[in-house]
Amino acid sequence: MSGHSKWSSIKRQKGAADIKRGQVFTKLGNAVTIAVREGGGGDPSSNFKLRLAIEQAKAVNMPKENIQRAIDRGLGPSASSGLGQLESVVYEGYGPGKVAIIVEATTDNKNRTTAEIKGVIEHAGGTFVSPGAVSWIFAEEGVITVAKDGKSFDEIFASAVDLGAEDVEEMQDDVIVYTKAGELEAVKKALTDKGLTVASAEIAKKASTTVKITDPETAKKILNLMEKLEALDDVQKVFSNFDIPDNILAEIQGSL
């Protein structure tokens, strides 16, 4: 397990208490707005990107009125809300241990967001790089988190493969199912129809090559960098190609 899956697992174990509820709602609201603009309108039945964003918002009990405001913002002129024009931006860099990093953000002030992300990466000893420098390592894939709920990994693995999964990884209480980006919705529905519990589904970036990190101090610096990047208001998601073995992770988790 590496990169995005490992980081997602760590965040779930730490719990959502590390992130302020208001900040979570703001990030998810921005994701809904961008999904409306880039995914094809405000009807979730015909805009899969919007459906995913709404599901993620509902998963953290974001009020319906907040979700609707975010949809309206995406449909109408930004001037009517008194807010700047949101846009999605992607940044690239190298972190400690030369791991590749991709940061997805939404912002109404690109200069501010660029300076913040560049500062966090460089303060951690990393390098802020130009577009394309590391993105070639990553490809978009569907990522579905299936809760074990008493089922074995082998049971879920067999079902997922039969239903079109590209790859399957085991975590402590969950199983991560990878699909082609265009098949995420179909596989997610098939898993649910099979009686499996789908905890989350998203389009993510999976690295084709990974960097194994065996030094605990370097591993700690990488995870701290990931956390600081995701703590920025404008940042939506952070992806990396680090591979931290479970024994190293267990050694440092208490100090994160």
Identify the helix (H) or strand (E) that includes residue 157. Answer: helix 153-162
Q: How far apart are CA 13 and CA 16, in angstroms?
A: 9
pLDDT, tens only, 101-130: 999 999 999 999 999 999 999 999 999 999
Could you tell me which CATH class the domain 87-136+209-240 is placed in? alpha beta
Q: Which residues in the chain are classed under CATH 3.30.70.980?
A: 87-136+209-240, 138-207
pTM: 0.84
The pLDDT tens digits along the chain (256 residues) read 455 666 666 666 555 445 566 788 899 999 999 999 887 888 998 898 899 999 889 988 899 999 999 999 888 865 344 445 889 999 999 999 999 999 999 999 999 999 999 999 999 999 999 999 999 999 999 999 898 988 999 999 999 999 989 989 887 778 989 999 889 989 999 999 999 999 888 889 989 899 999 999 999 999 999 999 999 999 999 999 999 888 888 888 766 6
Q: What architecture is domain 138-207?
A: 2-Layer Sandwich (3.30)
CA–CA dist 143, 5 (Å, integer)? 9
pLDDT at 81: 45
Q: Using DSSP, state whether 103 is helix, strand or coil.
A: strand
CATH top-level class of 16-81 = mainly alpha
**Percent of the chain at pLDDT above 70?**
87
Q: Tell me what pLDDT residue 199 has.
A: 85
Question: Tokens representing 18?
Answer: 């590390």
10 Å CB burial of residue 67 (0-12, 13-18, 19+) is: buried
pLDDT one-digit tens code per residue, 35-51:
998 878 889 988 988 99
